[in-house]
Amino acid sequence: MKLTIVLAAASLTAFSIAATPAAAWKLSPSGDFTADGTTSATKNGVTLPCKAHFTGTVNAHGIGHITGGSFSDNGGPPGACGAVTLGGTPWKTAARTAKAAKIYNVSFTTPIGSCGPGAMPVRVKSGGVITFTAVPLAGGCTVSGNLTSTPALSIVE
């Protein structure tokens, strides 16, 4: 009988360890932020390089939302980046690990065509630097970017 109780207790302990939820990663700090830098979209072999300015907010639960964005030329056809429009904002942004987040429902229209919607994994580095490289989106697009957030966004547990 004692052996049964010991085995049952060991099983419950093992179950509680296995059932413990993963770390709850969050974006920080809460409040409004901007992110500025370079982005590019490639579709059908044509790349549109732009300077980007995004606006967003992080709520008290550490979930971010990209609320808007504007673009200016960065070596591509004159005026092309100014014609880029975001679709489906706000885009929910959630931390996934200590250095990675995912931006959901990313979609936009450019002079080279429409891209998205899709989920876009990003890296969050020290100093609030957000990077993504050759991320595929619906519509046959890939996107890359290197942005710096202000205040500097980070991921915390």
Six-digit token string for 100:
């990675």
pLDDT in tens, 87-97: 999 999 999 99
What are the structural domains, with CATH classification, of the chain?
A: 23-156 (2.40.128)
- Please give the average per-residue pLDDT across 14-22, as a whole number: 43
Six-digit token string for 53:
């300015």
pLDDT in tens, 115-151: 999 999 999 999 999 999 999 999 999 999 999 999 9
Give the per-residue pLDDT at 5: 37
